[in-house]
Chain A
């Protein structure tokens, strides 16, 4: 078991948890957080290199580094792991954001408990991305949800009790549907008389879920994960939750946790029930199309920086689900790129907003102005994040959205074309709200005399911001590299049943 590299994505966070419990002061806690997150980054980087080398050497298995250890034998529940390019992309994303998040919460109160909850959350996230067993996956999924309640409730700002409760209950509500659909999948995972299994790879190989059952289970599964992917009309937890959460939690939640939703929709709902996905996609296309546009419009009228960004997340995450539902290679590649891109740039946004809020003690854009002169580093960072968000070539947003729309346009029928055009229009709306904030916040006249005394970013804040900017630019400049990483996943296997 311990010879499998993937297990260490769970073991390192758990060791960090133990480390935090033993720490005596904030200095040691920071040391543990930094060491651990560097170790995670190194591990995911090594995994990336090794994975590509294996693929180059001619490995054609669907998932690599697979391993399976029996857990609850009578129910055939195993701790089964395995990754492909998509999971590796997500692991890299998570480790970068955990790293940046640790630096962004350098001076948090009650650091020990904060980091313990944060790392429990990360354990869930990493565990979710490495497993291929439905039970274990679901367990890690829920492990990642519940620490949010305490993180927002204890360290949040504003109406934190309300937001924390709303977020937790809505996400758990989604997971109720999810649990039912996963159990349903289990009971149809093998042909009559065969050994039932929770293992995703085996279930997809057996392909024994009948079409009727797919129609029943797919919507529940998609909605269950879709709630976390902020699909309209189940997105309302997201703005409140993100606005009230502390900086690092917003980063991790918008950056990684919302990707759990998209990843789950792709990996479980679509992968295991492709026929229903193909037939029912139109319902969810309408819903996600609404999220894309509605989120963007809502962002235009907000005045709280975090709300603007939270609604923009609804729009961008809607785009992920939208692209997944297009069910073709180009759009799916775009969806994964969008997950990476949105994860990094929204984390960058939330980090910068947290840093600005820490100085000005307000997030209302009407009360701020001319910050570019006062804190040029944060200002430039904000402009870069904004440009990535509205899709400037050279940054990640452009690559992702371009791929998505090209892929969506491959469908020749009226329905898909119309929705693609509608979704495309969100790019323009994004430009409106981004430029509005940039203009008002950074370049307008200084609104408050006290703001003139404020200082620019400290070294740890710079480190956090630079890490994220470099990653955003890397995707924008070398899209081919990332494309080659994830393309192998979309082998004909997944489209097998659909016949595309």
Chain B
């Protein structure tokens, strides 16, 4: 065996190294030094992120006889996730240093890094065995993270819900895989694509439906979304933000890879319409339910469901442009959503309040928090000049590139849905800026780490759109990808 193949996995190895160092630090350092675990992890991860930007890209390499593959796009999406994880780490410092978490904070970081490793495998796997390992190691530790708030009842409930749905959906996914294996006799993505031919028989459609539902769970697409709101509400805010952006971003990319690489030739025969239906239902249901939410975390849960629908629009185009638009959307979504969760987390840590009515008059007591929240809401709603506008515009443009009349109708439905989403995002702005009531939340100064996290997010929300460098470099990476060879 050629051990140099491991060098192609350098980003995965990097995460493992960070994980091991954090584990060793947590296990062997004296008790006093443990207070610095959060900072240690954040700095270590920052170094890893920078290194991954500089040395992570090894070009297009298929390692381990095609089981694992990396390309500029894969390394780009991993870097994007890294940036998100870094922000989550910064934002969670205050929470992990709290009284409740003192004995568990090492575990939080270790589990987080393990799930990130799993997501990396999901992105780069070109064999279903490796993919399932990635999927499981990205899902199961998350249940433990959701249950981190040991003393809160909702946290347990959320964890149970999460683990049961995760296991159930994995089972469905593997059922689908067994069908695929029966049809193609291989679990390598490329082999399956070659073996299946171009004739879509019924068994294949069933298998496809099972696979889509399995991954749809991770993405919380409707109708596989039922766990989302409860888990988001029950989980500690840092875990929720991790779940809502990083986990979703990785799953979206992996979903695209599976659909176009394994089932690419059945695009118009089998899954085009499934995808359309999923997108429409996801966006619409997510929006309609978000309108009635009073708890900010539940509210963002439904908002993130509908955002997942928009992310899926990047797949329907089935070309490099759609891939780039999707990755850009994920990047922007990471920053916008983390800005919102940063504010929610800061307020929750300080006062324990998470209801929308608590935010009444926030602009008068905490103008900067309100400002960050407003930018996040505008960006999520797709208002220029914030980044969300650009990402929405590009994802619609890339979807319409496909050119059929159906796609125009699909995009029109998605666009009309943005109006509904604007309504509920504006409700938050209204509570903070327009509601005449006395502020419910007293003026306070948030912790350094929280402010740093928020500044990064706000800067990202403003700069990611106007500065075209980010989009241009993503599309440059996507242009060389060989993912779409089988589209027919």
Contact = CB atoms under 8 A, between A and B. Distances in A.
Interface stretch (B171-179, B192-200, B290-298, B383-391): B383-391
Contact of B472 (A73, A149, A153): A73
A176 B415 contact: yes
B422 A169 contact: yes
Contact of A135 (B393, B423, B434, B475): B393
Interface stretch (A45-53, A160-168, A286-294, A372-380): A160-168
Interface in A173-206: 173, 176-177, 179-180, 183-184, 186-187
Interface string B391-405: 001101100110100
A135 B465 CA distance: 13
Contacts of B468: 71-73
B378 interface: yes
A179 B396 contact: yes
A135 B393 CA distance: 9
A54 interface: no
B486 interface: no
Nearest to A77: B468
B255 to A, nearest CB: 23
Contact of B423 (A143, A150, A169, A184): A169
Given A150-B434, A153-B433, A176 B416 contact: yes
A75 interface: yes
B419 interface: yes
A164 B426 CA distance: 10
B433 A183 contact: no
Which of A164, A168, A183, A184: most chain B Cβ within 10 A? A183
Interface size of A as a range:
20 to 34
Contacts of A73: 468, 472
Interface string A115-158: 00000000000000000000100111011001001100110000
Contacts of B321: 74
A146 B394 CA distance: 20
Given A72-B468, A73-B468, A186 B422 contact: no
B471 interface: yes
B408 A149 contact: no
Given A72-B471, A179-B396, A184-B408, A165 B415 contact: no
Contacts of B401: 187
B412 interface: yes
A172 interface: yes
B408 A180 contact: yes
A182 to B, nearest CB: 9
Contact of A183 (B324, B396, B416): B396
A32 B365 CA distance: 27
B429 interface: yes
Contact of A173 (B378, B383, B419): B419
Contacts of B383: 142, 146
Interface residues of B, number: 34
A177 B415 CA distance: 8
B411 interface: yes
Contacts of B430: 153, 161, 165
Contacts of A177: 412, 415
A183 B396 CA distance: 8
Nearest to B472: A73
B411 A180 contact: yes
Contacts of A146: 378, 383
Contacts of A184: 400, 408
Interface string A58-100: 0000000000000111110000000000000000000000000
B415 A179 contact: yes
Contacts of A176: 412, 415-416, 418-419
A142 B400 contact: no
A248 B321 CA distance: 43
Contacts of A74: 321, 324, 471-472, 475-476, 479
Nearest to B474: A74
A367 to B, nearest CB: 25
A139 B433 contact: no
B475 A139 contact: no
B429 A183 contact: no
Interface string B309-340: 00000000000010010000000000000000
Interface string B160-191: 00000000000000000000000000000000
Nearest to B321: A74
A146 to B, nearest CB: 5
A168 B424 CA distance: 12
Nearest to B325: A75
Given A74-B475, A179-B393, A153 B419 contact: no
A179 B416 CA distance: 11
B385 A143 contact: yes
B403 A187 contact: yes
A216 to B, nearest CB: 8
Contacts of B389: 139, 142
Nearest to B467: A71
A173 B419 CA distance: 6
A74 B394 CA distance: 11
A177 B418 CA distance: 11
A495 to B, nearest CB: 29
A165 B425 CA distance: 11
B432 to A, nearest CB: 10
Contacts of A169: 419, 422-423
B434 A164 contact: yes
Nearest to B427: A165
A122 to B, nearest CB: 14
Contacts of B426: 149, 165, 168
Contacts of A160: 434
Contacts of A138: 393
A142 B384 contact: yes
Contacts of B393: 135, 138, 179
A249 B400 CA distance: 37
A183 B434 contact: no
A165 B384 CA distance: 18
Given A74-B324, A142-B389, A169-B419, 11 more contacts: A72-B471, A73-B472, A74-B475, A153-B434, A172-B422, A176-B418, A177-B412, A179-B415, A180-B412, A183-B400, A183-B411
Interface of A: 71-75, 135, 138-140, 142-143, 146, 149-150, 153-154, 160-161, 164-165, 168-169, 172-173, 176-177, 179-180, 183-184, 186-187, 216
16 contacts: A72-B394, A72-B471, A139-B384, A139-B389, A143-B385, A146-B378, A150-B434, A165-B426, A168-B426, A172-B418, A173-B419, A176-B412, A176-B418, A183-B400, A187-B400, A216-B408
Closest 10 CB pairs of A and B: A153-B434, A176-B415, A74-B475, A139-B384, A72-B468, A142-B384, A173-B419, A146-B383, A183-B400, A71-B468
